[in-house]
Chain A
Amino acid sequence: MIASLRLAPFRLYAVLDWFVPEKMKEEAESLRRARMFLISHLFGPFLGHTISLYILLIGPAPDAAWWIFFGIITLFWAFPLALKITGWFVPLALISVQNLIFTILWGCYHYGGMSSPLIPWVITVPLLAFFYLGSGQGVRIFVLAIILLNLAGFYLIYSLGHGFPTHIPLAQLSGLGIVSTVCASVYVSMMALYYANIAMSQSDLEREVKRRLETAAQLREATNEAERANQAKSEFLAKLGHELRTPLNAVIGYSEIMLEDAVIAERQQQSVDLKKIHNAGNHLLKLITDLLDLSKLEAGKMELFVETVDVRALVAEVASEYLDAAAAAGNALTVDVDPAIATIEGDATKLRRALVELVSNAVRFTANGTVTITARSDGEWLRITVRDTGVGIEQQRLATLFENFEESEDATTSKYGETGLGLPLSQRLCRLMRGDIAVESTLGEGSCFTIRVPVMLRAGAAAEVDEAAARDERHRARGSLVLAIDDDPAVLELLQRILAKEGYAPVVAASAFEGLELAKKLMPALIILDVFMPELDGWQLLKLLRKDAALRDSRIVMLTVDDNVKKGPALGADAHLVKPIDRHALLRLIRDLGVEPSPFGTRLLDRPAIDLLEEAQI
C-alpha cells in the first residue's frame, strides 16, 4: 500500500492543495474531487489552446468567433482561483461544465458544423462532470439537460437560417481533426489515469484500514487478557507479601532481642553477627515492601491519606534516624527548614518514605562530606532538597535513574537505590501526591535530589484527584494503545519496535487519512503525528483530530524536524518531539503525558502484538 501511494504525484498535491478551501480538506472524498477539478482546470486549457492556436495557424486573421473561442478556453484557468477565493465548489463545478459544453459547441458551430473535428470533445463533458460531482442521479440529469439545452440553443441559431459559418473551408480542417482527437484523447486519458490511481489506492487503503482494525481488536483483547493476568498477579503478590512478612518478623524481632542481650552482656563478636542478620532482615523487608508498593501503584490501588503534616518534625525525625550512619561515614548531616513553613496538607507516610530514600542514599554514597536537607515553600509547593557531596551520578545514568531496575540497561543502577526500586517508587509516590522528584548531579562532586509536593493536597484536590483518577481510568480503558502516523515506513517501524518493547500496543498508519480513520475507530490513548506528510500535513490532521469529541482525551505528540513548534499547543497538541527520535526522550514524554504501558504487559503482549503487527505490515 505504501508503494502504491508513493506513485501518487505528491509534489503536485502541494500546488493543488493551495487552491483547495480548508473545509474541503476535512474529508478525503471532497479533497479528491477538488483535486480532480484543479487538475483538469490547470492542464485542460493547455490542450484546448493547442486547438485554438492551430486554428489561428491554418485560418485567416483572428475574428470575433476565434477571440470568443480563445477567451472561453482561457476562462477555465480562472476557476482554481475562484475556488480558492469563494470556496463554492459545487456552483463552480456546474458553471465549469456549462462552460465546457458551450466551448465545445461553439468550436463545432464555427469550425466544421456537424462534421467538425471538435465533436469528440463532447464525451469529456459527462466524464468531467462525474469526476467533479460524483455520479448521482441529480448529476446525471443535470449533465444530460445542459448538453441538450446547449445543443438546442445552437440548433435554434442554425435553423433560424444562420447556417454554419465557414471561417475555414472544410477541406482545410482535416489537419485539425487529428490535432483535436489527439488532444481529447490525451485529456481523457490523463483524467482517467489519475482517477484509476486514486481508486486503486483508495481500495488499498480501505483493505488496509480493515486489516489494521482487526489487528487492533486482537491487540485490545490481548491487552485485556494481560490486565486480567496483572490483576491476578497483584493478588498473588499481596498474599505472598503477607506470607513473607510473617517469618521475616521473627527474624528481625528475635535478632533484635538477641542483639540487645549481646550488647548488654558485651559479647562483641556476637553483636556484630547479629547486627548482620538484623540488617539483612531489614533489607529483605524493604525489598518486599517496595515490590508490593510498586505493584500496588501500577495496579492503581495506592491510596492517598491526606492529613496535616508538621514538616519540621518530619524532616527532623528522618534526619535523626540517619545521624548515626552519617557520623559513621564522617559526614555532617545538617537540616535547614525555612521557619516560615509550619504545616502542609499532605500524605505524611508517603512523603516520609520518599525523603528517607533520598537521605539514606545521600548518606550511603557520601564519605567525609556533607549531606544537607533543605525545606522551602513558595506557598504553593513544598520543596525538600537533599544535597550531598558524595560520588555523584554519571550523566547518562541520570536519565534512567527513576526507571524500574528491570528497565534500566546496566545493573549498576541498582547501586543507587538499595533495591533499585527505591527511587522509582519514591518518584511515583510523589507523583501520586501531584508532585515529583528531580535530580541534578555532577560526577565526583555530589548529587542534589528535590522532592516537590503541593502544600495543599486537600484543598480542591479531592475533586482534582478524582478527576485525575477518572482520566487515568479512561486512559486505562483505552489500554496502552498508541497510534503512530507517519508517511515514512522507517519511522513507523522504529516507533513500533520501541513501543512494543516497552509494553505499549502500537498501531501504525502510513498516511494522514488512514490515521484519521484509525484514530476515530480506535480512540487510542496516544497519537504520534508526523508534521510533514503529503496529502494532509500534520497540523491539518491535528486540527481534525481535535475537532472530534471522542478523541478529546487522546494525547497527541507532534513529530517535527525542527523546533518550530509554536503552532502545536495552539492547535491542541500535548507535546512535540524533534526527529530523529530519541528512545529515552520518547518514552519519558509518553509517561509524562500519563500514558502507561500495559503493566507487565510486555511479556504477555509481546508475542501476539509483534506477530500481529508484522503480519499487518506491507
Chain B
Amino acid sequence: MTKILLVEDNEDNRDMLGRRLSRHGFSVCFAIDGPSGVRMAHNELPDVILMDIALGEMDGWEATRLIKDDPRTTGIPVIALTAHALASDRSRSVEVGCADYDTKPVDLPRLLGKINACLPGGARAA
C-alpha cells in the first residue's frame, strides 16, 4: 500500500485530506509541524510527502530542504501545498527540490493525479 506523509498544521485540513486519501487507498501518516515532518520522514520512509508551506516556526521550504539534504530521505518526492499560486512560490518549490506543487484548497482529483505522477509505476494506488 502506498504510504503518504501529510505535513499540515491545521487540524481540519489534516483530518479532511487524510480521510479522503485513505478512502482512495493510501496509507496516511501525519506530522503537525516542520521538525516532526522531518522526523517522520526518517522514521516512516513514506512513498510521497505532502508538505504544507505555512507551518509556523520552521516552514515547509525549510523542512523540505532538510529532507532533501538527508541521503536516506532525499529520494522521496515532496509535493508542496500553498495557499497562493504565486510565481515566487512555484520557483521556490522547484529550487528546494519539490517534485510538484499544488494550491489549497485541494482539488482532490488533481492532487491524486500529481501524486500518481510522482510514484514509480509499481507503487500506484488503485
1/0 contact trace for A244-272 toward B, CB 8 Å?
Answer: 01101110111011001000000000000
**Interface pair A242/B83, CB less than 8 Å apart:** yes
Query: Taking each of A242, A253, A285, A303, which has the highest tally of chain B beta carbons within 10 Å of its own beta carbon?
Result: A253
Partner of A305, one of B13, B83, B90: B90
CB under 8 Å from chain B, chain A span 479-525 = none
Q: Is A224 an interface position by the 8 A CB rule?
A: no
CB-based contact A253/B105 at 8 Å: yes
Distance of A12 from chain B, by nearest CB (Å) = 63
> In the complex, which residue of chain A has the Cβ closest to the Cβ of B24?
A260
> Residue on A with the closest CB to B85?
A349
Is the beta-carbon distance between B19 and A257 smaller than 8 angstroms? yes
Q: Does residue A190 face the partner (Cβ distance < 8 Å to B)?
A: no
Q: Are B91 and A245 closer than 8 Å at their CB atoms?
A: no
Q: How far is the CA of A323 from the CA of B17 in the complex (A)?
A: 26
B42 within 8 A of A: no
Known: A245-B105, A246-B10. A304 touches B87 (CB 8 A): yes
B residues in contact with A285, CB < 8 Å? 105
**Residues A274-299 near B (CB distance < 8 A):** 285
Taken together as a complex, chains A and B put the C-alpha atoms of A252 and B108 apart, in Å, by: 11
Q: Contact check, B16 vs A248: say whether CB atoms are below 8 A apart.
A: no
A246 to B16, CA, bound (A): 13
From 207 to 261 in chain A, residues with beta carbon under 8 angstroms from any chain B beta carbon are 242, 245-246, 248-250, 252-254, 256-257, 260
Our count of residue pairs bridging A and B at CB distance below 8 angstroms stands at 43
B105 contact set on A, CB distance < 8 A: 245, 248-249, 252-253, 285
Q: Which residues of A contact B91 (CB under 8 A)?
A: 305
A257-B20 contact in complex given A249-B13, A252-B105, C-beta closer than 8 Å: yes
Pair A260/B23 contact, Cβ less than 8 Å: yes
Size class of the B contact interface (CB-based, 8 Å): 10 to 19
**CB-defined contacts of A257 to chain B, threshold 8 Å:** 16, 19-20
- CA of A249 to CA of B81, assembled, Å: 13
| Given contact pairs A245-B104, A245-B105, A303-B87, A253 touches B23 in the complex (Cβ within 8 A) | no
Shortest Cβ gap from A427 to chain B (Å): 18
Cα distance A347–B86 in the bound complex, in angstroms: 11
Contacts of B23 in A (CB 8 A): 260
CB distance from B37 to the nearest CB of A (A): 20
Cβ distance A280 to chain B, nearest Cβ, rounded Å: 14
A250 / chain B contacts, CB cutoff of 8 Å: 12-13, 16
A303→B23 CA distance, assembly (Å): 37
Do B88 and A249 touch (CB < 8 A)?
Answer: no
Task: Give the nearest-CB partner of A260 in chain B.
Answer: B23
How far does the Cβ of B116 sit from chain A's closest Cβ, in whole Å? 15
Among B10, B86, B87, B90, max chain A CB count under 10 A is at: B87
Which residue of chain A has the shortest Cβ distance to B11 in the bound complex? A250
B20–A256 touching, CB < 8 Å = yes
Residues of chain A within 8 A (CB-CB) of B10 are 246, 249
* Closest B residue to A282 using CB positions: B105
Asked if B1 lies at the interface with its beta carbon under 8 angstroms from chain A, I say no
Q: Does B117 contact A (CB under 8 A)?
A: no
Closest to A264 in B: B23
In the complex, what distance in Å separates the CA atom of A285 from the CA atom of B19? 22
**In whole angstroms, what is the CA distance A242 to B104 when docked?**
11
Write the chain B residue with the least CB distance to A251.
Answer: B105
- Check: B106 CB closer than 8 A to any chain A CB: yes
Closest residue to A245 on the B side, CB-wise?
Answer: B83
| Chain B residues, CB < 8 A from A304 | 87
Q: How far is the CB of A286 from chain B (nearest CB, A)?
A: 11
Which residues of B lie under 8 Å from residue A248 when comparing CB positions? 105
In the docked arrangement, what's the CA distance between A245 and B103, Å? 12
| A266 CB, min distance to chain B CBs, angstroms | 17
Of A242, A303, A347, which is in contact with the most chain B CB atoms at under 10 Å from its CB? A303
Q: Which residue on B lies nearest to A305, using beta carbons?
A: B87
Return A22 CB to nearest CB of chain B, in Å: 52
Task: Give CA–CA (A347, B87) in the complex, Å.
Answer: 9
- Chain A residues whose C-beta falls within 8 Å of the C-beta of B88 in the assembled complex: 303
Smallest Cβ-Cβ distance to A285: which chain B residue: B105
Task: Give which listed residue, A245, A252, A256, A303, contacts B86 with CB less than 8 A.
Answer: A303
Nearest A-chain residue to B23, judged by Cβ: A260
Smallest CB–CB gap between A320 and chain B, Å? 10
- When chains A and B are docked, how far (Å) is the Cα of A245 from the Cα of B106? 12
Residues of A within 8 A of B86 (CB): 303
Provide 26 A-B residue pairs closer than 8 Å at the C-beta atoms, listed in order of the A residue.
A242-B83, A245-B83, A245-B105, A246-B10, A249-B10, A249-B12, A249-B16, A249-B104, A249-B105, A250-B13, A252-B105, A253-B12, A253-B13, A253-B17, A254-B12, A254-B16, A256-B20, A256-B108, A257-B16, A257-B20, A285-B105, A303-B86, A304-B87, A305-B87, A349-B85, A349-B90
B residues touching A (Cβ–Cβ < 8 Å)?
Answer: 10, 12-13, 16-17, 19-20, 23, 83, 85-88, 90-91, 104-106, 108
Given contacts A249-B105, A250-B12, A256-B20, 16 further A-B contacts (CB under 8 A): A242-B83, A245-B105, A246-B10, A249-B13, A249-B16, A250-B16, A253-B12, A253-B20, A257-B19, A257-B20, A260-B20, A260-B23, A303-B86, A303-B87, A305-B91, A349-B90
